[in-house]
Amino acid sequence: MANLKKIDDYRWEIPKGYVEGMRVSGIIYSNEKMMQSLEKEQVMKQVANVACLPGIVKHSFAMPDAHWGYGFAIGGVAATDPEQGGVISPGGVGYDINCGIRLLKTNLKTEDIKNKIPALMDALFTNIPCGVGIGGKIKVSPQQEKELLKDGSKWAVKQGYGVEDDIINTEEGGCLQSANPDKVSPRAYERGKNQSGTLGSGNHFLEIQKIDEIYDEQKAKVFGIEKDQITIMIHSGSRGLGHQICDDSLRIMQKVVSKYGIKLPDRQLVSVPIDSPEGKDYFSAMASAANYAWCNRQILMHLVRETFGKFFGKKWQDLGMELIYDVAHNIAKLEKHKVNGKETLLCVHRKGATRAFPPNHPDIPLKYKSIGQPVIIPGDMGRASYLLAGTQKAFEETWGSTCHGAGRTMSRHKAIKIAEGRSIFREMEEKGITVRARNKNTLAEEMSEAYKDINMVVDIVHKAGISQKVAKMKPLGVIKG
C-alpha cells in the first residue's frame, strides 16, 4: 500500500517499477476499506504483472470486485495494440469463457407471486438442468454443434428458442463473427455436446428478483422497469467446452512462447502475438466458446419462459418476459478505442469485468442509445444485484469497462469450513429467500459471507463514474447447481 499513489477517493495507481518489466502503470478502482482485502488477495501484484504484457496500452486495470485469479486477477481489464506487438492471453479471459449474465423483465409484481415462490422455484428447478456434469434437454448432432459454435444466440433463435429481439438485446448480437469451430479440439466438442441449455454449478445461478429501488427514473423507464416489478437473472457460461478450450490453448502457448521472445513475471500470463498463428487460433476457438455461452443462456431463458408460461397458464409474451440485456464477463474482443487521440483497433481483455459502453455508441441497441448500454451486476444470493448504465467516462478511462459482481473474499474450501454446523438453506429461508440447490456444499460455498458487499462495490463504480446506478434488485428465489 505504501508504494501506491492515491489518485482520488476511488482510484489508486500502481507505479511502473512496482514489478520489474512493467510497461505501463496499474489503476485499481476501490475505496480505502476495500483496498485492504485487495492487498491480501495479491491483486496489486497481478495487476502489475499484467502491465508487463507486450503491446499493452495506457494502464492495467482492476475493478473493486477484483480477487486473485489465473494470470489476470478476476476483475482485471487490459487492452493491447496488435500493431505494436500486442498479445492475447488466455489468462486474461479465463477458463469459463463468456461466463455472463442476462436479465429478463416481466409484467408481474411481487403481490402476484408472493405466495407462489416455493412452487415456482420447484417448477424451475425441475425444468432447468443444473449441477456438475448435468446434461441438457436440448440434444444436438455434431453438425448442429458446429453451427451453434458459429452462430451463437442466432442458432438458438432459429431453432425456436427465442425471438429476434433477444439477439438485438445481447452483447455483440450473441455472436462473435471471428468464431471458427474447426479450431475447437475434439475433446472440447465432447465436453460441450450435452451441455447446451444447462446452468452448471459454483457461482452460476438463476434468480427470481424484485425491483427494490430505482435510482434514475428516466433510465428505468427506458429499460422498462419500475419498483416492485419481478425480474429474472440468469448467470452461466460456456461450461466444459470453454474450460477445455482454455486448457488446450494454454498448453499450446507454453510450447511456443519462447519463439516469440516473450518473457513475463508469471507463467500463468503466457501470451502470444494476436496476429501469430497461435494467437489467431486461440481467438477463433475462444470466440466459438463465447458463442456457445450466448446460445446456452438463450436456451436457458427459453426454458425459464416455458416454465413461467406453464405455471401461470399464459404465453410468456403475455407475461411481458422480455430480455433487457445480456452481457459477457470473461472475453477478449477487438474494439475501436482512441489512443492518444487516434482511433485504434485494440484487443480488450475483460476477465470478470463488464462492458459499459456509453450513450450513442454504435454497438448498443437503438432503444438504449440515449442512456447507454445496460450493465448488469449480480451480487451474492443473500443480498442484492444491480442494473446500471454505461458511461462516456468508462469509455475514455477503462476501455468501456466496469465491475462484474461482488467478488469473492474467501475460497470455496474456507467457506465450506466456516459453514460447518450451519444450515445456509434455513438461513436463506429466514431472510425470505427460497433456495433450491443440488447439494448443501454449493450453498456453503456461495453464502453471503464468502463475497464482498455488492452495495459497496457498485457504489464505487457509480461514484467513480464508470457506470451509473439505475435500479437495485433483491432476490426472492435462487437456484444453484
Annotated catalytic residues are 404
> Which residues in 111-247 belong to E strands, given as ranges?
205-214, 229-236
Distances (CA, A) of 396 to 53, 103, 338, 466, 474: 21, 26, 8, 9, 31
CB atoms within 10 A of CB 243: 19
CB neighbour list of residue 75: distance below 8 Å, 6 or more residues apart: 43, 62, 63, 64, 65, 66, 67, 69, 351, 352, 353, 403, 404, 407
The three-class DSSP label of residue 47 is helix
Q: What is the C-alpha separation between 58 and 61, in angstroms, rounded?
A: 9
Pairing type for strands 468-480 and 374-377 reads unpaired
CB atoms within 10 A of CB 432: 12
Distances (CA, A) of 57 to 52, 335, 361: 10, 13, 21
If residue 60 lies in a helix (H) or strand (E), which one and from where to where?
Answer: strand 59-67
Residue 273 phi/psi, 5° resolution?
A: -55, 140
> Which residues in 238-371 belong to E strands, given as ranges?
272-273, 322-328, 330-339, 342-351, 354-355
If residue 122 lies in a helix (H) or strand (E), which one and from where to where?
Answer: helix 117-127
The separation between the first and the last C-alpha atoms of the chain, rounded to the nearest angstrom, is 38
Distance of CA 114 to the CA centre of its chain: 29
Distances (CA, A) of 131 to 198, 203, 439: 8, 11, 9
Q: What is the C-alpha separation between 399 and 58, in angstroms, rounded?
A: 10
Pairing type for strands 59-67 and 25-29 reads parallel
Residue 469, strand partner residues: 388
Contact 62, 28 (CB under 8 A): yes
